[in-house]
Structure 1
Amino acid sequence: MKKNLLLTLLLIFLMVMNGVLLYLTFKEPNKKPRPPRDFIFKELNFTEEQQMKFQEVNAEHHRKMRAIDERTQELKELLFSNLGSTDFSDQELDSITSTIGNLSQEREKEIFSFFNTLERMCDAEQKRKLKRIVRRALRPPGPGRGGPPPPHR
């Protein structure tokens, strides 16, 4: 009898929590995160010509980033598939982790190149706005900046 009461209470609790989750999910269905492209168009007030050029540059940037991310994921899967393997050498470990590091470096260079190209497309006022956007994006989230404190605190 006590077991049934506990299960009933647990079931009711879970149903209420699901209802709350559904409410929070659907209460503002039109409030979806804006893609960065739309944000950049709006903030920098791009002309039609700038928008077309940006779309070309953005598509190429995303293609390159996707390729880097896919290769990184493949290497990480390879690395962790050898977890506990006795015939996986330190040399193989170093080789895979070095390649992952090189891909990370390539990723950062691609991001820099993208913003560098974007800045060259801008007029003087747009460049000031872009620098402000980039500075804000580079600040790590933390207390008072819209994010939780770092985990080491």
Structure 2
Amino acid sequence: MKKTGSSVASLIAAAPAARRRDAETLTALMQEVTGREAEAWGTIIGFGSCHYRYPTGNEGDSPLLGFAPRKGATTVYLLDGFDAHSADLDALGPHTTGAGCLYLKDLEKVDLAVLRGILERSLAWVEAGGDGRMGLTVTE
């Protein structure tokens, strides 16, 4: 995945109406959590960047935290997965998960303090280099 240099405001404006408000809220929240500005990574709004390398040799770049305002739900990407967040996910509010993605249909129904905690712990995991399996290196 690569940064595209597109306008984050344009990505948010192009989002379905139901997702725009959530995108603005998540942009502000992730900026606070990461201390980094939002950047476009294709259709993903990302904060900071890291390089990863799997034991298989596959490698690439990813935002430290990011989300995408999709038609069906806002997708929040967590590089550390969900095992470390199971208790928090129980308290989060309505959501679904899949393959490192947290799907939120309505941010107003979610406990933002719980979401902030999940984001903070996920960021700390990435900044610490993950669990060693991914070979994570923060690049900015």
TM-score, normalization by structure 1: 0.26
Greater share of strand residues, 1 or 2? 2
Greater share of helix residues, 1 or 2? 1
| Larger Rg computed on CA atoms | 1
TM-score, normalization by structure 2: 0.28
